[in-house]
Amino acid sequence: MTMKKTWMCIGVLLGSSIAGMACTVTLITKGASADGSVLVSHSDDNELGDQRIVYVPAADHPAGSKRPVYYDSVSIGVLTNYGIGMPRYVGTHRGPGYVNAELQQDVPLGYIDQVPHTYAYFDGNYGIVNEHQLSIGECTDGAKVEPNPEPGKRIFYSSELSRVALERCTQAREACRLMGELIDRYGYYGTGETLLIGDTEEGWIFEMAGYDMNGADGLWVAKKVPDGEIFAAANEFRIREIDPGDPDMFFSSNLFAVAQAKGWWKPEDGQLDWLKTVSHGEYNHPYYSLRRVWSIFNRVSPSSKFSPWVEDGYTKAYPFSIKPEKKLSARDVFALHRNHYEGTEFDMTQGLAAGPYGTPNRYIGPYDGNQNNVSAPGQVMWGAWERPISVFYCGFVYVNQSRGWLPDPVGGICWMGLDKPSETCFVPFYVGVNDLPASYQQGSTTVFDRNTAWWAFNFTANWADFKFSYMKVDIQAKQAELEDKEFAMQPAVDLAAAELYKQDPARAREYLTDYCRDNAQRIVGEWWALADRLVAKYSDGYVNAPGQMAHEVGYPKAWLEQVGYANGPIQYRKPEKK
């Protein structure tokens, strides 16, 4: 399909924004999941970017051909000399979802050797999952050095690395090796990055950073998540000591030499600490990252009694991975992403800042972002909000599920939720589909459009902020209704698709494509209907219902007391100043 006048546009540098480096990710290994699948989740917390979820088809390539590598604006911002100022690629090399005859095609930073066949995959601002159940999640990390791209010399950022891995690999370990080799040979630019890579058996963490020496390559390390454990990250590197003798860890051959030459580490320091070596720990403000890791670990292992308070951004209070007290389902991971610290001392639905109706949203202003940069020398901070897991500027969130007991097209599912996790509905897309619904592959955050799926969820989440404590009840009820039905249908869909696959793989793919399209269209339609009901039900601050219009619910008594309602004009005499 050709997209016309529906492309996402931005006019700011993503790297300069608090929302440009703001994702939360989890990886649940086979032994830690309720059904023996490997789960990878990612909230893409960047509403400045591009919210399209695009299907990239499999393709065959002539012998000796080259694969172009394009600049990614999610790295350090829109640089028009490498493209047309769009946040996502424009051109013909990723299938029809990226073709736009009205726009100039992006200019490659360089080329790598092409392979005879590339796999189909789902693409967002980063690669998501391929047809062989290889799954990827991403979060941005602050690094000491964040170099610019150099055409033909330093050409890879994590987003393009993730796409090449999904095009060519079926196993997580294989993907880590490939991405490391590409960085070594073709160079790395942009921010520090963490990629979570899962297949049907294993989960790996791949972290990378650039440097500003004569070489064009970068620094990277890969570490396996022990089976039976879960991993979580939130915009801070999570790999610590580098152990050359660990068979489940490997890293760039230049790591120790570069670290020593830059003065970041010396042999007498002992084992090289990756986090300390290449980064300043947290960025933005204290607990911007660590609070989210604490929340996830605390929820899956409450008896461990992890403290939310630590000494600094280099703390080792939260291990690389932990064993959950109960095995997690995909739906449990949905819940992890829908969290605003409810029930804890950091509950963002409580207090004066939450307003009369308990909204967890804290809108960004000039007092946020780089002004409150914990890694800046001498930076004085005068305030900060807690940073929740479910944040209003989330563009989309997904939970990928890789199930090795089923054929790849049937076993892999991307549970996709558009916009804010706590106010979205997760929709399943099997990796064996031939395409994704048009409403998911098009749209602009600058143009309200009822034909774009993202707007159904974004509008509902925004409207809910007016009377959150009321509307969240309606939204959660609809979430439960729709997601209950999807999970109830899943065994039947799995069975039918698996049986069809034995007889005719092409028919199985058609069946899955039809089911996913029809279900997604139904969900989006029902979400628009929910939005319309919420508009009418809560119009003008009332709670409206048939036979009970304009029900005056007012404000909670505690909030009225906090904001000085009692000091209003309740007498004619001028009140005395206290």
Report the distance separating Cα 82 and Cα 74, nearest Å. Answer: 13
For 218, how many CA atoms within 13 A lie in the half-sphere containing its CB? 36
What average pLDDT does the chain have?
A: 92
Q: Which of 352, 348, 381 is nearest to 367 (CA)?
A: 381
259: left (phi over 0), alpha (psi -120 to 50) or beta: alpha
Report the distance separating Cα 407 and Cα 511, nearest Å. Answer: 14
Percent of the chain exceeding pLDDT 70 equals 93
Report the distance separating Cα 281 and Cα 119, nearest Å. Answer: 36
427-448 pLDDT, tens digit each: 999 999 999 999 999 988 889 9
Residue 426 has pLDDT above 80, yes or no: yes
Q: Which of 497, 502, 338 is nearest to 428 (CA)?
A: 497
pLDDT (0 to 100) of residue 333: 98
Report the distance separating Cα 224 and Cα 206, nearest Å. Answer: 9
Q: Which of 250, 76, 245 is nearest to 177 (CA)?
A: 250
**Cβ(137)–Cβ(275) under 8 Å?**
no
Q: Helix or strand or coil: residue 146?
A: coil
pLDDT confidence tier of residue 321, bands split at 50, 70 and 90: very high
Question: 98 pairs with which residues across the strands?
Answer: none
Q: Cα–Cα–Cα angle for 525, 529, 535, nearest 5°?
A: 145
248-294 pLDDT, tens digit each: 999 999 999 999 999 999 999 999 999 999 999 998 899 999 999 99
Question: 154 pairs with which residues across the strands?
Answer: 150
**Cβ(149)–Cβ(113) under 8 Å?**
no
97-143 pLDDT, tens digit each: 998 877 778 889 999 999 999 999 999 999 999 999 999 999 999 99
- CA 19, distance to chain mean position in Å, is 12
Q: Which of 224, 269, 233 is nearest to 251 (CA)?
A: 224
Q: Helix or strand or coil: residue 129?
A: strand
Report the distance separating Cα 208 and Cα 205, nearest Å. Answer: 10
pLDDT (0 to 100) of residue 13: 32
Residue bearing tokens 């189909």: 120
For 339, how many CA atoms within 13 A lie in the half-sphere containing its CB? 25
pLDDT (0 to 100) of residue 10: 30
pLDDT (0 to 100) of residue 86: 64
Residue bearing tokens 């891995």: 165
β-pairing verdict for 203-209 and 121-123: unpaired
534-571 pLDDT, tens digit each: 999 999 999 999 888 899 999 999 999 999 999 899 99
Stretch 58-86: mean pLDDT, rounded? 85
Report the distance separating Cα 278 and Cα 236, nearest Å. Answer: 11
Residue 455 has pLDDT above 70, yes or no: yes
Q: What is the pTM of this model?
A: 0.95
pLDDT (0 to 100) of residue 370: 66
Residue 19 has pLDDT above 60, yes or no: no
Report the distance separating Cα 229 and Cα 208, nearest Å. Answer: 23
pLDDT (0 to 100) of residue 215: 67
Residue 573 burial (CB count, 10 A): 5
Q: Letter for the amino acid at 315?
A: T
Which residues contact residue 290 at a Cβ distance below 8 angstroms, ignoring those fewer than 6 apart?
234, 236, 282, 310, 313, 315, 318
Residue 13 burial (CB count, 10 A): 14
Stretch 21-32: mean pLDDT, rounded? 94
pLDDT (0 to 100) of residue 4: 35
User: Residue 62 class from Cβ within 10 Å (0-12 exposed, 13-18 middle, 19+ buried)?
Assistant: exposed
